[in-house]
Amino acid sequence: MDPYSERRLFGRSLTLDPARTAVLVIDMLNDFCEEAGILGNPAALDLCASQNRILASARGSGATVVFVNEQHRTNLAPERAFAKQMTHAYQGSWGADVVAPLTFAEEDLAVIKRRYSGFFQSDLDLVLRDRGISSVVLLGVLTNICVRATAHDAFFLGYNVVVPEDGVGAMSPVEQTASLYDIATHFGWVSDSSSVCAALTSGAVIENTDPDLARRMATL
């Protein structure tokens, strides 16, 4: 018996109300995405076309766009082990800038995060609640680290969580597939950019649209 095929996908069909939906762009920064970045993975730039389509649909439909950017102080002199690892995306540096292919509109918002999750000790939850947001669409990198941590916290805080597979990226297919499978079965909806755009612009429903995830998990 295939243990993965026995696990049920999370939730039923989801309708996105643009006025109550936020698209969160997580860590699409030079230090993570450009070859010259400290942790650069240029493959992440391949996500920008799908991300820009979703961003255009979000802005056109009245949804909220929030760039959630990791950023660290240069003079923190940390003592704790985790903080000592944060030697990238320094505030004011090129590495902390959003990658050039992504568009940033005047009405977009930006939130700084200091840890993997965009919600951990930031004001992201406050920003979203002030706008009456109930659903979040997550874009960015890395699927298995910052995107996943943000998805978990969003779910725990009561938000509907949507992750378009072609809008997020990991360092390997194993990490990508395993993270998306866990999100689809426990935390939210794994969809794609076309479905998200249709949901925002024409009221189409969001489904967990990748039945192949279970098969892909079984072959890892």
pLDDT over 60 (residue 15): yes
Residue at 7 is within a domain: no
What are the Cα distances from residue 51, in Å, to 3, 35, 57, 68, 110? Answer: 33, 19, 10, 14, 16
pLDDT category at 70 given cuts 50, 70, 90 is very high
pLDDT of the residue at 181: 92
Number of domains comprising the chain: 1
Confirm whether 92 is domain-assigned: yes
> Is pLDDT above 60 for 1?
no
Catalytic one among 33, 48, 146, 197?
A: 146
Domain span at 125: 17-218
Q: Which two tokens stand for residue 160?
A: 């509907």
Marked catalytic residue, from 31, 33, 48, 113: 113
Domain with residue 142: its CATH number is: 3.40.50.850
Residue 184: pLDDT above 80? yes
**Whether residue 84 lies in the annotated active site:** no
Q: For residue 72, what pLDDT is reported?
A: 85
Residue 2 domain flag = no
Q: Which of 70, 62, 162 is nearest to 114 (CA)?
A: 70
Mean pLDDT of the chain: 91
pLDDT tens string 192-217 = 999 999 999 999 999 886 667 878 88
Distance of CA 97 to the CA centre of its chain: 17
Q: Which of 27, 153, 166, 182 is catalytic?
A: 27
User: pLDDT at position 87, please?
Assistant: 67
pLDDT at position 30 over 80: yes
Predicted TM-score (pTM) of this structure: 0.93
> How confident is the model at residue 208, as a pLDDT?
82
